[in-house]
Structure formats: C-alpha cells, structure tokens
Amino acid sequence: MKSELESLFAFTLKANGLPVPTREHMFAKEIGRKWRFDFAYPDKLTAIEIEGGVWVRGRHNTGSGFQADIEKYNAAQLLGWLLLRYTGDMIKRNPKKVVDEVKRALEMR
C-alpha cells in the first residue's frame, strides 16, 4: 500500500536522478518469512523503510509493533541487507540529505 510519504520519497529520488527502487519488496523467504521492505534495490541488497506515524500511536510505536520491526531489521542485516530508515520529517525537511545518503549507499554496494 502506498502512503503519501512513500510517494513523496519515490518522487524525491526520481527528481534527483536516482533510480526508483522496487516497492514492497518481499525478502527473507529463505528463513521462512515473508517480510516486505517499503523500498528496495534488490541487486544492491539495499532497503529503505519509511517510518510514518512517529508522533502518533501507530502500529510501529506499540511495544509489539516495535519488537516486530526490530526482529525484521535484525534479520535483514544478518541476510546482508543495508537498511536505511527515514521519517516523514526527514524527507520533507532535508530531502537533499536523504538523496545523498541513498546515493552513497548504492555506491557502496
């Protein structure tokens, strides 16, 4: 499901000349999970999660939601993924920094 923040993120990357990543990329099948990244560059093992609802009590801010995210992120790291995480404020207030970090991550891989 596309959120407004995810659409803004994709637009920001494209507007700055970066390739648009795959949305809702499923990973971790090899360990019996069907987790999805908000965005991914599978060939670079680079993933991006857009963290919405930072200031409200959303699913990711509950104890169980937070723990589930940590489990997912740790598994991704152990499977070799580089994971970047951004909030809406980060994308809106400093898009250049976000673009530069994604570009740097892709160059590293």
Are 50 and 62 contacting, i.e. CB atoms less than 8 angstroms apart?
no
pLDDT tens, 67-98? 999 999 999 999 999 999 999 999 999 999 99
Q: Which of 78, 80, 8 is nearest to 38 (CA)?
A: 8
> pLDDT tens for residues 21-77?
999 999 999 999 999 999 999 999 999 999 976 545 555 566 788 899 999 999 999
pLDDT at 15 exceeding the cut of 80: yes
The pLDDT assigned to 61 comes to: 60
Backbone angles phi, psi at 74, to 5 degrees: -65, -45
Q: Look up the CATH number of the domain holding residue 73.
A: 3.40.960.10
The structural domain count of the chain equals: 1
Q: Round to whole Å and give the CA distance between 109 and 75.
A: 19
Domain that holds residue 52: 4-108
Q: In this predicted structure, what is the pLDDT of residue 26?
A: 97
- Position 28 scores a pLDDT of 96
What's the pTM value of the predicted model, to 2 decimals? 0.88
